[in-house]
Each structure stands twice: as C-alpha cells, then as structure tokens.
Homo-oligomer: A and B are copies of this chain.
C-alpha cells in the first residue's frame, strides 16, 4: 500500500492549516488553470482520485454532475469530506491509488489534484483510469512538476552572482524522493515528464493539453513573494482524452 502520510497526526494538522485546505479550491493558485481544462460537468459521472476534504467533489456537484465519486487513502480526510458534503450526488470511498480498481466505462471525467506523485508505478493506474472512462471521456490532473521533485536538495539556492536558482540534479534518475514537507520523510515518486506523457499515450490516451504551471503576471502582482515561482515550474497540469 502507498504511504498514507495524510493520516500522520502532525502532517494532517499542518496540511489542514494550508490555504488550500482552509479556503478550498480558490485557495489553490493553480485551480483557475486546472479548471479551464475541464469539460462541462453538467450531467457527467465524475471520479476524483485523491479527493482530500472533498472540495472538488462538492464543486462538481454544484456544476450539475450527475454522480461524483471521491476516493482517498486518508480516513481523516474522508471523514471531514463526508461531514462537509450535503449533496446526495456525491459519495466517498477509501481507496489506494497503488491498487485501484474501478468499474469499466463508468465515468465521463476523471480528476486528480496533486496525488499521482505519491504513486510508485503509474502504468497500472493510468490503465485503470483509461478503462474506467467511457470512450471520449476526459482525464484532467495535476501533479508536482518533476523539476520540482527531482533534486537531492529541493530548495532555492543563491548563485555566485546573487540570483535565486533551483539546484536541479537527478532529473533522469526516476524513483523515490523523500522530503520534509509538513512531516519528516514524506515519500514521493519522481518521474520525468516524458515518462508521464508517453505512459499516458501508451495507455490509450490522446493528450489534449500540457501546462507547466507557475503564477501568472496578475498573481505575482497580487503576491510579489510568488515572483520566484516563475524561475521553475511547481506543478504540472495535464488533460487527456480516452480515444473513442
């Protein structure tokens, strides 16, 4: 089973205080870009892989989705999601993305926000998602960007001439990365962007959009401390379609 860091007490407490946990979708600066990749959800059957507190599931129901299934490995998060969700169109289930099983052709849209980098092998996951989508169905997801994940020391450093630079190394060496974000030894899996995309293609998806996300000019103007985030991408946003 995948590491379930979200049920670590310290991590959960820290995660619960993040802007994206408190303010929901609008607290995530990449949300407008990710939302723009989604098809209309009215009448759609939607699955959210790594749904956390259920913010997206509730939003999808508000957009008129016919059914929304939220999956997460964290009992803590799902308990809060269930509590916060009045809509009868939404249901939640414990699931491990490393060993996911879904009914065939049962969904029109698969969505995932910042969960796939916890998955050791995306091959079976992408195949499962592909088969769970109806022909023409959409997969829209974000992950941490491999440039962000790869380094031995993923922290800004200062160059000899005084610039902030991202000390990239290990990019082509895929595999486990341990970081100390909110807790010690959080385990994630680095893959190159090429591997992620070519695996999607080999799984039967047609890529429809690839975006290396950083804050845009308006966001930097509103929060000047984010300017440094334009030096390297933090997130990767991908949209793909199951071939008809």
**Hey, which bits of chain A sit against chain B, CB under 8 A?**
147, 151-153, 157, 159-161, 163-173, 192-194, 197-198, 201, 206-212, 214, 230-233, 236
Contact status B160-A165, CB under 8 Å: no
Secondary structure at the A interface, as helix, strand, loop or mixed, is mixed
Between-chain CB contacts (< 8 Å), 29 pairs? A147-B168, A147-B171, A151-B165, A153-B163, A157-B167, A159-B167, A159-B169, A164-B169, A165-B167, A166-B168, A166-B169, A168-B231, A169-B231, A169-B232, A170-B230, A171-B230, A171-B232, A172-B212, A172-B214, A172-B233, A193-B210, A194-B210, A194-B233, A194-B236, A197-B210, A198-B210, A201-B209, A201-B210, A207-B207
A169 and B160 alpha carbons, distance in the complex (Å): 13
Question: Which residue from B168, B172, B173, B201 sits with its C-beta under 8 Å from A207?
Answer: B201
A200 and B70 alpha carbons, distance in the complex (Å): 33
Contact status B171-A161, CB under 8 Å: no
Kindly report how many copies of this chain are found in the complex they form together: 2
Contact status B153-A159, CB under 8 Å: yes
Contact status A168-B210, CB under 8 Å: no
- Residue in B closest to A230 when the chains form the complex, CB atoms: B172
Contact status B210-A171, CB under 8 Å: no
Contact status B192-A233, CB under 8 Å: yes
